[in-house]
Chains A and B, each alone.
Chain A
Amino acid sequence: MAKKKTIRTIPQQRTPMPEQDPQRRAHNFEEVACGYSLEAALNESERCLLCPDEPCIAGCPVGINIPQFIQKISEKNFRGAYDVITATNLLPAVCGRVCPQENQCEGVCTVGESLEPVAIGRLERFVGDTAIAEGWVNIPYIEPTAFKIGIVGSGPAGMACAADMAKAGCDVTVFEAFHQAGGVLKYGIPDFRLPNDVIDAEIRNLQKLGVKFECNTLVGRLFTIEQMLNELGFHAVFVGTGAGYPSMLGIPGDSLTGVLSASELLTRCNLMRAKEFPNYDTPLPPAKRVAVVGAGNTAMDAMRVSLRLGADKVYCIYRRSRTECPARAEEVHHAEEEGVEFHWLTNPVAILDDGKGNVRGMRCIRMELGEPDDSGRRRPVPVPGSEFDFETDLVVYAIGTNANPIMGQTSKLKLNKWGYIETDDNLGTSVAGVFAGGDIVTGAATVIEAMGAGRKAAASMKAYLGIRDTKVANLTSASSAGKLFGIDVKERNFARIRVA
């Protein structure tokens, strides 16, 4: 091994990511961050200390062996790096782009204690993009089992669960209500952040694993979860339908024609290609001034999409301050560069109409931070008498979502008081054989958290079906202590018999 790296010997500066010029990119849908070149990736890979603590692995919701894949990059063994990542994460090209790394792996990076942390996300993306360009796909030898698995929803949770179950030899079918697979990756995240080609490439990889995708299928209404288990021959079902049901503010003017949810704006633009209207049939309301309420990642996407659709002015209206803003730091930075005007500590009071049902403007009130609330963040309180009006043509609500009611309406799954599906620690639901994960369990969260949940549910599903977990099965132990007929007690479900 080469001489030991120390914090003094590694490149001190984080390798910058080439980006499209803000003035130019604010008017096109091409990717903002262009990705590392070979040299940049090699340079950045040198910054990993390969420290023994490996805090980054614990910081990753799916536990990617980060130091190992970075080491493979530095050895120019990119295929090796891809193999390391795909051992735990199916979608490196996606996660490298959309994970909030600063709160996860990069947030706990040892280098980050004294310098800027290693750009783990950018390196992951480099590996993922290389794999797509080279057409790599890791198809392990799969011993088929007789189990048939149904996955409801083709978003990140469903895709992650599908991959694991397919690798375990199951016959997996993913059901999607939209006409294209991908869930939030397709309808929600815009092209300039995550190109559709990347998602399609990842979906093709799943298909190579044997996963079938059935679009145009609304589970619950076309057939129910119970029917899947009792009539359609599925041995287990995973529900990853996402949160859905956007919140409205409930202020005067909510139902004006120029008020819409960020989900609607993004779905029209991304999935339905309204940005190419009239070559595509779905329209979007034209707007010169757009006010987006909220400051999460979805809000950032809505603002940056609005700029690209031709808005001159885009305002961000957020009742808390910048410190509490929940979006990824990079997204806020990008939005700022592109010319979004941020109005922190500002809360909408009413949407003003033009007398014809359209939006004329918005009335807001200034806020100040008071005592911390339940979330630990300082509670914003209105400053009396500070109301003010401004003009805008379109108001976009990006203030979160409530639980989608379809599963609750159509199945016996137990819901919690907010309408999300109730699960145990292993993501099992109140119905035997049905597992759930992602936003429909936790409420709105991130792509990687949903993928983590999908994988966790897959592990529980395997235990439920009695499929040997390879991780446990491959542990060779000389002693037979704790084993029954040579089977580890941890695998007690192995002998489970299912009467189908």
Chain B
Amino acid sequence: MQTIESKAEPKTNEGSKFEIVTRKDFSDVTYLLEIRHPLMAKAAKPGQFVIVMLNEHGERIPLTIADFDRQKGTITLVIQAVGKTTKEMQQACRVGTRLYGMVGPMGIPSPISHAKKVVCVGGGLGVAPVFPQARAFKESGAYVIGVVGFRNKDLVFWDDKFKKCCDEFIICTDDGSAGIKGLVTEGIKQAIAKHPDIDEVVAIGPPIMMKGCAEATRPHNIKTMVSLNPLMVDGTGMCGGCRVKIGGQVKFACVDGPDFDGHKVDFDDLMTRLRRFTQEEKMALDRWTETCRMANLPASTPASPVESKPKGPRKAVKSPAKKS
């Protein structure tokens, strides 16, 4: 289509307000960024998301807010490097650098119901965005059971944060290297077996995991809320790219969600629509990796990826490595 030139891409984002104040690497693919934005920290509520642009040439990617600190005036995002943009961010986003754009908090905040006993389920990266909900439920006086799932013990993060706000906490790993061996649905089953009076389950993670959670609770008729992560452009209801099917009706995840009743969500439709740009995503990633190789830059930092990563859609950056 166009001739491919390697233009010097704007990297510094001088004049932007969105300064990165903290960075933590949980593993070679998962990293945390804390970004200064006092107004947003004041406004953010559990379940909301932001749209981030790395640079002027970048795309707009939606990321669920993993935490916010009203005192410090910061927003925390946990990101998994799966596609071109998230890998480039992994390389470029250092403390002191700035993002080109960050808008939010978007979406309807998660309704923190008056449930007395809730299970908060996070799979892989979904562990991060489910944390503010677990904390909010705890603050509203609920008995909170945390269930988090990872592939193995090396990928586990934030267990300390969860332990502080959960009355019970279950870690599930695929290989059993930490907690119980199995998927988060195992953890849900255990929790349901022990507590027959669970009012609500909140599940955040890749679509296949949320689907599994919804199926695990359906026979018990437990209300199950999920946070959907379709592709988005504007995030303000204007483009309709993020439309999802809920109980046969079309809804826009950005303004009508992102939280929906898991028992009504058409997950197959969501997964198909997440694959819209698979080819373009691969092309962009290959081209970028090649540029890094030519420039002798590590394609991913701090270490080059050793293990194979899921070929998830690039925008499903909140999708964790964990499958369920």
Contacts and interface: CB of A to CB of B under 8 A. Distances in A.
Interface of A: 177-179, 187, 215-218, 221-223, 242, 244-246, 248, 250, 254-255, 257, 260-261, 263-264, 267-268, 272-273, 275-285, 309-310, 357, 404-406, 409
Contacts of B48: 221
Given A245-B255, A409-B108, A310 B7 contact: no
Nearest to A280: B57
30 contacts: A178-B103, A179-B53, A179-B60, A217-B103, A218-B103, A222-B40, A222-B43, A223-B43, A244-B238, A255-B245, A255-B273, A260-B239, A267-B234, A267-B238, A267-B239, A272-B59, A275-B2, A277-B2, A277-B284, A278-B287, A279-B5, A280-B57, A281-B57, A281-B284, A283-B59, A283-B277, A283-B280, A357-B272, A357-B275, A405-B256
Given A179-B53, A285-B277, A310-B1, A406 B236 contact: yes
A260 B108 CA distance: 23
Going nearest first, the 5 A-B pairs with the smallest beta carbon separation are A283-B280, A264-B239, A357-B272, A281-B59, A179-B101
A284 B1 CA distance: 12
Contact of B105 (A179, A222, A273, A284): A222
A255 B243 contact: yes
Contact of A277 (B103, B104, B280): B280
B255 A264 contact: no
Given A250-B250, A409-B255, 13 more contacts: A178-B103, A218-B236, A221-B104, A222-B39, A248-B240, A257-B273, A276-B2, A278-B284, A278-B287, A281-B57, A281-B58, A282-B60, A282-B233
Contacts of B238: 187, 242, 244-246, 263, 267, 404
Nearest to A405: B255
Interface in B250-309: 250, 252, 255-256, 269, 272-273, 275-277, 280-281, 283-284, 287
B227 interface: no
Given A221-B48, A263-B239, A264-B239, A285 B276 contact: yes
B46 to A, nearest CB: 14
A336 B241 CA distance: 28
B4 interface: yes
A244 B237 CA distance: 6
B59 A257 contact: no
Contacts of B101: 179, 215-216
B80 interface: no
Contacts of B1: 277, 309-310
B100 interface: yes
Contact of A222 (B58, B104, B252, B255): B104
A352 to B, nearest CB: 15
B102 interface: yes
B36 interface: no
Interface of B: 1-2, 4-5, 7, 17-18, 39-40, 43, 48, 53, 57-60, 84-85, 100-108, 233-241, 243, 245, 250, 252, 255-256, 269, 272-273, 275-277, 280-281, 283-284, 287
A278 B239 contact: no
A227 B84 CA distance: 38
Given A263-B240, A405-B255, A221 B5 contact: no
B127 to A, nearest CB: 24
A94 B284 CA distance: 35
A254 B53 CA distance: 29
Nearest to B236: A177
A272 B233 contact: yes
Nearest to B285: A278
- Which of A217, A250, A272: most chain B Cβ within 10 A? A272
Contact of B283 (A218, A244, A278, A310): A278
Nearest to B83: A281
A145 B281 CA distance: 52
Contact of A261 (B40, B43, B108, B240): B240
B241 A260 contact: yes
Contacts of A246: 238-240
A369 B281 CA distance: 45
B173 to A, nearest CB: 32
Nearest to A284: B280
Contacts of B107: 221
B287 to A, nearest CB: 6
B109 to A, nearest CB: 9
A406 B240 contact: no
Nearest to B103: A216
